[in-house]
């Protein structure tokens, strides 16, 4: 397992890769599972809640995410009133697809590891019925909503060469590009 470099939009070569459509995975084998392990380590290190393979330069239809919504371990103390539990719950998603999307929408302020330190509201379907292969290569179908649905759709966009800022107006998209370029220059100077 290794931490990989995350491609960012301020670099023209990185952006060209991020805009490509990823190819389907033929079989979930040890090589794909090793890729998922690297992706998970990279995502946790960043830190983030979702990562598509294309974000580390791998054009496979593979996503990992962890929304911290796992079940409370047996014997563990429940969180205090008003405190959100953060229980690891890694998800491994191969060849994701949306089978159905609700007409009802949900607005969420999204961010992206490839667009550092920029957040903006994106409107997406509130509920989606999805299908994908899990870490063992088994086909899973489920209806999802809330943050899971937002993250799933965001990462699926990555696999199709779409960034969350592509859902914004041209003005807001240009503002995002400028802010990220400035942020990355400041990081390099530090």
Question: Would you name the residues annotated as active-site residues?
Answer: 155
Cβ contacts of residue 22 below 8 Å, gap of 6+? 52, 53, 54, 59, 60, 61, 62, 158, 159, 160, 161
Q: Is 85 exposed, middle or buried (0-12, 13-18, 19+ CB in 10 A)?
A: middle
The token pair that represents 184 in the structure block:
């990355």
- Rounded CA Rg of the chain: 17
Angstrom distances, CA of residue 42 to CA of 31, 32, 49, 51: 16, 15, 11, 8
Cβ contacts of residue 139 below 8 Å, gap of 6+? 131, 132, 133
Give CA–CA dist 113/111, Å, rounded: 7
Three-class secondary structure of residue 80 per DSSP: coil
Give CA–CA dist 105/181, Å, rounded: 31
């Amino acid at each position: 397992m290794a931490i990989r470099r995350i491609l960012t939009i301020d670099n023209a070569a990185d952006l060209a890769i991020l805009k490509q459509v990823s190819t389907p995975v033929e079989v979930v084998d040890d090589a794909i599972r090793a890729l998922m392990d690297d992706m998970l380590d990279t995502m946790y290190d960043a830190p983030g809640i979702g990562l598509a393979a294309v974000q580390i330069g791998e054009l496979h239809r593979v996503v990992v995410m962890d929304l911290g919504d796992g079940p409370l371990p047996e014997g563990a103390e429940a969180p205090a009133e008003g405190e959100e539990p953060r229980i690891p719950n890694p998800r491994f998603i191969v060849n994701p697809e949306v089978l159905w999307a609700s007409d009802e929408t949900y607005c969420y302020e999204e961010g992206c590891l490839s667009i550092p330190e920029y957040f903006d509201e994106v409107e997406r379907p509130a509920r989606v019925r999805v299908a994908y292969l899990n870490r063992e290569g088994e086909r899973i179908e489920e209806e999802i909503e809330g943050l899971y649905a937002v993250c799933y759709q965001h990462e699926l966009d990555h696999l199709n060469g779409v960034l969350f800022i592509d859902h914004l107006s041209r003005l807001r998209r240009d503002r995002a590009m400028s802010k990220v370029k400035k942020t990355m220059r400041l990081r390099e100077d530090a």
